[in-house]
Amino acid sequence: MASKIFGIDFGTSTIKICKKGQGIVLDERNMIAIADRRTIIATGDEAYDMYEKAPANIVVTNPVRSGVIADVANMTALLVHFIKKLSGSKKPGLADYIVATPSDITEVERRSFYELISRSTLKVGQVKIVDKPIADALGSGLEIMTARGVMVVNIGADTTEVSILSLGGIVLSKLIPIGGNRLDEAIKGVVKKKHNLYIGDKTAENIKKQLASALPGVESTVKVYGRDVVTGLPSLMEVNSKTVYEAISEYLYSIIDAIRIILERTPPEISSDIIDGGIYVTGGSANIFDLRGLISKETGLKVNICEDPANTVVKGLSRIMEEPQLFTLADSLRPKNLVD
């Protein structure tokens, strides 16, 4: 085993890296800016600053979509850049890597995470995979090595993963294509429809953070800039929380439906554990106002919004690296019990 071990969470929106003995060492946007189809001019947060502002010859893109690698070449370039940055050297030394992946993906998609690292120009020792729900639960401070079942709902940028865990493994898991980005798109659509205003992804995300509520009744407004649909000129409009609720409520109830499906198929003995412990919610969109109230209202169960929900996966990877009794959770591919 190499002396250095990195844990990586390849998120759709952000890439987070932890290092054994140091905790989280990198948390940046998972974006890359390429000029003239060949020259990398910016990565991470710097590339995100260029998003929706770059000229035609500069493409700013996310190499990961829906939790899986969509652009291997650009993701490899990003990873190599970040590891070199963290190592302070153009030739980083030998290191092992632990990668968190969604559980409800194909074996080909899972293996692509191995190959991305092993075929890069980095000096690579062992490459291990850990299921993201397991890292998520560990990073939330949950005990998953016992026979007591826990339920974790991770609402990410492109996907939401609902999982039941027990005895260090996944009993049931369901991945649906709804996350924070889908909510942003819905907000863009409703602002265009109601206010005749084109807004960008960044503006929609900002509206979501300020006004999004999982239950109706919140009264708040925010001023936003965009382009008038009719005149084509820059315009300033005021958007209220009621409009945002109308945009996102359908998608939030789709997440509720996924939770119900898993609960309906959960073994009775584990169901009793979930009644006692409740549902644990993580992911960047777990911070939506009153999300706890909506899930509790629709399921009748206690709901726990985890502390620092956006970083639970990478914190779980850090625990796996630091605690020898957990290291066996990171291994080669294994079959899953998945729900259609």
CATH C-level class of 4-132+314-329: alpha beta
- CATH tag, 180-247: 3.90.640.10
Q: Is the pLDDT of residue 332 over 60?
A: no
| Rounded average pLDDT over 187-212 | 96
Fold for the domain defined by 136-178+249-311: Nucleotidyltransferase; domain 5 (3.30.420)
Q: Which strand (E) or helix (H) includes residue 65?
A: strand 64-65
Task: Outline where the chain has alpha helix (H).
Answer: 44-50, 72-87, 107-118, 132-139, 180-195, 201-211, 241-264, 268-277, 291-299, 312-322
Domain ranges, ordered by start, for the chain: 4-132+314-329, 136-178+249-311, 180-247
3-state secondary structure of 162: strand
Segment 244-257, tens digit of pLDDT: 999 999 999 999 99
Radius of gyration of the chain (CA): 21
Question: For residues 11 and 313, what is the distance between their CA atoms, to the nearest angstrom?
Answer: 10
Mean predicted confidence (pLDDT) in 128-147:
95
Same CATH fold assignment for domains 4-132+314-329 and 136-178+249-311: yes
Q: What is the pLDDT of residues 82-98, one digit of tens each?
A: 999 999 888 899 999 99
Specify whether the CB–CB gap between 204 and 188 falls below 8 A. yes
pLDDT of residue 290: 96
* pLDDT digit string, tens, across residues 41-74: 999 999 999 999 999 999 999 999 988 999 999 9
Mean pLDDT along residues 213-227 = 95
Helix (H, G, I), strand (E, B) or coil at 76: helix
